[in-house]
Homo-oligomer: A and B are copies of this chain.
Amino acid sequence: MAEAENQEDEAFGITDRLVSEVMEAVDRNDGAFLTETLDTMHPADVAHLLEQIDTRERRALLTAWPGGLEGEVLSELDEELREEVIGQLNPGELADAVRDLESDDVVDLVEYLDDTQQEAVLDALDASDRVVVEQALSYPEESAGRHMQSELVRAPEHWTVGEAIDYMRSDVVLPDQFYHIILVDPRLKAIGYVTLGRVLSHPRDTPLRDITEDTFRTFHVEQDVEEVAQAINHYHMITAPVVDDDDRIVGVITIDDAMMFLEEEAEEDILRLAGVGEGSLSDRVIATTKRRFPWLAVNLVTAIFASLVISLFEETIAGLVALAVLMPIVASMGGNAGTQSLTVAVRALATRDLTTANVWRVIKREVLVGLINGLIFAVVMGIVGVVWFGSPMLGVVIAVAMVINMVVAGLAGTVIPVVLEKIGVDPALASGAFVTTVTDVVGFFAFLGLAAMWLL
């Protein structure tokens, strides 16, 4: 592993050279090289490799690779590629692949598969695993119950360190990864947890309940899994216990899964702010085109709306064509200032930094920032207007329009996301269109309107 790290001075991932070597081995049907290379790679790296080649190459690779892929590679794959890859495995290969996965990984794998493929995966599981997976699938999408790991270690509250160790050394099946022992009362209600570090560092006769963490908190099985992930991050938890209506422990969300959910959420926000929607780099042209179309359509409507405002002033522009030259500047500066404010507001809403307690202070700040930057750029553009077109009054018009539009940008950029959040619309998704409509309309209207009044 140390070599891979040094090759390109990278902390992780695969090199382009490795991708070429693997594809050359596929071309000469060198099964031995593929087994030796791919079977020793981390499943996340194999998935990464599969994501970097195209459909034809993936098919050739999966055919030429004698061992075939492990289930964990499927879990690591982009959602969009899973169906394709699963479709290329025969039932026996699929069964081999999924049998060793933890229940939460199987759920992630199958939840968005079509019914036939989902059935094929479920059929490959042991009866008891299948029950667990079907139970998880019965919880709402995006809920803690859907994504929790049901494998966990619990102990009666009256146990000592020694009893816990003896239990774990017995032939009980333990989860691959666990960091806490969860204490339960006789009705399986979760009442606290002990880190493994504390179990290991205390004498055998220490009662577990004397060494529990004081930060223990539980999450309901129907809670949004992203909220649980945010709580894990906020409170620096490693294990988040998930309980049912009767406070009985039913599973855990672990920090490594929480990290993945938070990454997905941030990614989603970034892509939504840019009007891209979900999706990945491996998507096909048609899927990508379809996903980007709606946002462009919304933008076309708002752009036409702005054009209608301009058309109100056709005569003004005909009288002074310089206005047509300068008007995009006012709209563009407002649009950028508005995007700045709305991005800050959208992220602050997502991280709960923006609340009813401080919303007025933030709005006041954004308007003031818009005013100050507006004044500075008003002076600059006023001078540009005078120098370029030799008309002091034109300089005044563009300067005043600039101040108006940048103040409005600060106001709209904050108020619109807050209002959208209040009425239950995702502000990351919808704020951009509204804010730029406002700054375009106000920008063109202020500039051309003032010009009509003061210049002609």
- Chain B nearest CB from A215 CB (Å) reads 7
Chain B neighbourhood of A275, CB < 8 A: 336, 339-340
Bitwise, A262-301 to B at CB < 8 A (1) or not (0) is 1100110111011110011100111011001101110110
The answer to whether A165 and B258 touch across the interface, beta carbons within 8 angstroms, is no
Q: In the complex, what distance in Å separates the CA atom of A51 from the CA atom of B289?
A: 42
Q: State which of B54, B197, B304, B339 has its C-beta within 8 Å of the C-beta of A196.
A: B197
- In the complex, the answer to whether A307 meets B293 with C-beta atoms within 8 Å is no
Total contacting residues, chain A, CB less than 8 A: 135
Q: Tell which of B12, B293, B310, B325 touches A328, judged by Cβ atoms closer than 8 Å.
A: B310
Look across to chain B and name the residue whose beta carbon is closest to the beta carbon of A265.
B266
Task: Write the A330-361 contact mask toward B (1 if CB under 8 angstroms, else 0).
Answer: 01110011011011100110001111111001
Query: Of A31-39, A59-67, A88-96, A222-230, which binds chain B?
Result: A222-230
Rank and list the top 10 A-B pairs by shortest CB-CB distance, nearest first.
Answer: A274-B343, A266-B266, A12-B231, A11-B227, A196-B196, A324-B324, A11-B231, A168-B201, A1-B217, A303-B329
A187 located at the interface, meaning its Cβ lies under 8 Å from any Cβ of chain B in the complex: no
Q: Are A263 and B266 in contact (CB under 8 A)?
A: yes
- The answer to whether A331 touches B328 (Cβ under 8 A) is yes
- Cross-chain contact A344 with B267 (CB below 8 angstroms): no
How far apart are the CA atoms of A233 and B347 in the complex, in Å? 22
Measured CB to CB, the closest approach of chain B to A417, in angstroms, equals 12
Q: How far, in angstroms, from A2 to B245 measured CA to CA in the complex? A: 12
In-complex Cβ contact of A292 among B51, B234, B327, B337 (8 A): B337
A172 to chain B, nearest CB (A): 8
- Cα A92 to Cα B372 in complex, Å, equals 41
Expressed in whole angstroms, the minimum distance between the Cβ of A37 and any Cβ of chain B is 16
A25 at the interface (CB under 8 A from B): no
C-beta contact mask, A181-216 vs B, less than 8 Å → 1, else 0? 000000000000001110111110000000000011
Q: Are A292 and B332 in contact (CB under 8 A)?
A: no
Inside 8 A of A355's CB, which chain B residues have their CB?
A: 16, 19, 52
This chain: how many copies in the complex?
2
A276 touches B174 (CB 8 A): no
User: Are B325 and A311 in contact, with the CB atoms below 8 A?
Assistant: yes
The prevalent SS among residues of A at the interface is: helix
| Any B CB within 8 A of the CB of A101 | no
Q: Indicate if the CB atoms of B348 and A281 lie closer than 8 Å.
A: yes
Point out the residue from B5, B54, B216 that lies within 8 Å of A361, measured CB to CB: B54
Collect the chain B residues with CB atoms within 8 Å of residue A299's CB: 332-333, 336
**Is A10's CB within 8 Å of the partner chain B?**
yes
Task: Kindly list chain B residues whose C-beta atoms are within 8 Å of the C-beta of A85.
Answer: none
Contacts of A295 on B, CB cut-off 8 Å?
336, 340
Measured between beta carbons, the chain B residues less than 8 angstroms from A197 are 168, 174-175, 177-179, 196
A11 touches B224 (CB 8 A): yes
Whole-angstrom distance between the alpha carbons of A202 and B54 in the complex? Answer: 45
Q: Are B11 and A228 in contact (CB under 8 A)?
A: yes
- Structural contact, B196 and A174, CB atoms closer than 8 A: no
| Interface window among A106-114, A116-124, A125-133, A313-321 | A313-321
Shortest C-beta distance, A311 to chain B (Å), equals: 5
Contact A321–B329 (Cβ < 8 Å): no
Q: Please give the distance in Å from A407's CB to the nearest CB on chain B.
A: 13
* Cβ-based interface call for A48 (8 A): yes
User: Would you give 6 A-B contacts (Cβ < 8 Å), ordered by A?
Assistant: A11-B230, A12-B235, A263-B266, A286-B372, A288-B365, A303-B332
A387 to chain B minimum Cβ distance, whole angstroms, is: 11
